[in-house]
Amino acid sequence: MDLEKIVLKYKETKDEIYFNKLYLETNKLVKSIIYQYCAEKNIIDDLTQDVYLKIVKNIDNYETKNFYNYLYLIAKNTAIDYTRKTRELPNLDPSYIPDNSINPYLNFALSHLDNNLKEIFIMKVLLGYTTKKISEILNSTPKKINNAYYKAKEILKHELEGIKDEIK
């Protein structure tokens, strides 16, 4: 069943089964978005919970046809609000990327990408999303996503080559 149908079923029935399906389908995305603003695992978990509470409370107001974009905006705004309230700058903890363990050198290189490029790279490589799915989530065109992904790869390649030279 596609996500939009799951969301509409949940909106209609408020059945926990549909919420669980919704959560399982979108949980990694929410965590990766929040990670862009805060890298502390317990804060990411708390903010993820806040995102899903907002969805539960406001599901009756959901009317768009792109739940990924709707979810993206809620997660991003929740993380930004938290950052604003705590006045913390994003602290990239190299030990945590949601549900993936990656090379610390790659994590360091990722810190050199702006948030948009980092989000696209993480969604494409670490979460395995297609260009089409990413373009739907970010409400963009596949061409822009591919261009940003290529740019991110070039920046990462340059950064990783610099690290490689330092290690030698």
Residue 155 belongs to a domain with what CATH number? 1.10.10.10
If asked whether residues 120 and 87 sit together in one domain, one would say: no
If asked whether residues 87 and 147 sit together in one domain, one would say: no
If asked whether residues 85 and 161 sit together in one domain, one would say: no
14 or 85, higher pLDDT: 14
Contact 32, 128 (CB under 8 A): no
pTM over 0.75: no
HSE-CB for 145 with a 13 A CA cutoff: 21
Radius of gyration of the chain (CA): 17
Number of separate domains in the chain: 2
If asked whether residues 41 and 10 sit together in one domain, one would say: yes
If asked whether residues 119 and 166 sit together in one domain, one would say: yes
If asked whether residues 57 and 73 sit together in one domain, one would say: yes
The whole-angstrom separation of Cα 137 and Cα 121 is 13
Q: Give the CATH number, domain containing residue 12.
A: 1.10.1740.10
How far out from the chain centre does Cα 72 lie? Answer: 7
Average pLDDT over residues 134-163: 86
SS (H, E, C) 41-89: HHHHHHHHHHHHHHHHHHHHHCCCCCHHHHHHHHHHHHHHHHHHHHCCC
- Give yes or no for residue 160 having a pLDDT over 80: no
If asked whether residues 141 and 119 sit together in one domain, one would say: yes
The whole-angstrom separation of Cα 98 and Cα 35 is 8
Domain endpoint, select from 96, 112, 132 = 96
- Mean pLDDT of all residues in the chain? 81
Is the Cα dihedral 10, 14, 18, 22 positive or negative? Answer: positive
If asked whether residues 8 and 90 sit together in one domain, one would say: yes
Average pLDDT over residues 57-70: 87
pLDDT confidence of residue 23: 94
- Give the count of beta carbons closer than 10 Å to the beta carbon of residue 32: 22
- Give the count of beta carbons closer than 10 Å to the beta carbon of residue 165: 8
If asked whether residues 53 and 117 sit together in one domain, one would say: no
Domain endpoint, select from 96, 114, 145 = 96
If asked whether residues 8 and 88 sit together in one domain, one would say: yes
Structural domain including 28 reads: 1-96
If asked whether residues 115 and 91 sit together in one domain, one would say: no
The whole-angstrom separation of Cα 48 and Cα 151 is 29
Kindly report the length of the chain.
Answer: 168
- Give yes or no for residue 164 having a pLDDT over 80: no
13 or 133, higher pLDDT: 13
The 10s digit of each residue's pLDDT in 75-126 is 989 998 888 777 644 444 433 444 444 556 666 777 778 888 888 888 888 7
HSE-CB for 32 with a 13 A CA cutoff: 26
If asked whether residues 8 and 77 sit together in one domain, one would say: yes
Domain endpoint, select from 68, 96, 124 = 96
